[in-house]
Structure 1
Amino acid sequence: MQPESTAQEFPSPDEGREDTWLASLLWNLMRWPLIGPILRHPLIRDYITPKEIKRFFRFATVGACGMVVDLSILNALVKLAGWPLLYANSVSFSAAVLNNFTWNRLWTFPESRTRPIRTQLPQFALVNIIGLFINNVVLLTVYHLIRGFIPDPWDYNLAKMFAIGVVLFWNFGANRLWTYRGL
Structure 2
Amino acid sequence: MTGEKIVDLARSLWRELAKFGVVGVVNIFIDMGLYNLLIAGPMASKITAAKIVSGAVATLFAWVGNRFWTFRHRRNRPVHHEVLLFLVVNGIALGISALWVAFAHYTLNLEGRFWLNVNAIISIGWGTIFRFWAYKRFVFRNEPVTEQPVTEALAEPFEHDRHRSEQSA
TM-score, with normalisation over the residues of structure 1? 0.68
| Residue of structure 2 equivalent to 1:175 | 135
* CA offsets 1:50-79 (integer angstroms, 9 cap, x no match): 211220121121011111111111111110
Equivalent residues of 2:74, 2:142 under 8 A apart: no
Equivalent residues of 2:43, 2:49 under 8 A apart: no
| Per-residue deviation, 1:146 | 6.4
Distance 1:91 1:82 in 2: 10
| Residue of structure 1 equivalent to 2:50 | 88
* The one of 90, 109, 123 aligned to 1:128: 90
| Per-residue deviation, 1:140 | 2.3
TM-score, with normalisation over the residues of structure 2? 0.73
Identity %: 23
Q: 1:114 to 1:133 in 2, by over 3 A?
A: closer
Say which structure, 1 or 2, has more relative contact order (CA 8 Å, 6+ apart). 2
Larger deviation, residues 87-96 vs 52-61: 52-61
* CA offsets 1:11-60 (integer angstroms, 9 cap, x no match): 4xxxxxxxxxxx9xxxxxxxxxxxxxxxxxxxxxxxx6221122012112
Letter in 1 for 2:104: V
* CA offsets 1:69-99 (integer angstroms, 9 cap, x no match): 1111111111021340011111100000110
Equivalent residues of 2:93, 2:131 under 8 A apart: yes
| Residue of structure 1 equivalent to 2:39 | 78
| Residue of structure 1 equivalent to 2:101 | 139
Q: 1:173 to 1:73 in 2, by over 3 A?
A: same
| Residue of structure 2 equivalent to 1:154 | 114
Letter in 2 for 1:135: S
Larger deviation, residues 161-170 vs 139-148: 139-148
Letter in 2 for 1:98: L
Q: Secondary structure at the match of 2:43?
A: coil
Q: 1:145 to 1:178 in 2, by over 3 A?
A: same
Q: Secondary structure at the match of 1:53?
A: helix
Distance 2:53 2:30 in 1: 11
Equivalent residues of 1:58, 1:107 under 8 A apart: yes
Equivalent residues of 2:89, 2:134 under 8 A apart: yes
* The one of 57, 61, 66 aligned to 2:22: 61
* CA offsets 1:137-165 (integer angstroms, 9 cap, x no match): 222233453625xxx21111110101111
Matched, 1:107 2:54: no
Please tell me the root mean square deviation across aligned C-alpha atoms, in Å: 2.6
Unaligned 5+ runs, structure 1: 12-22, 24-47
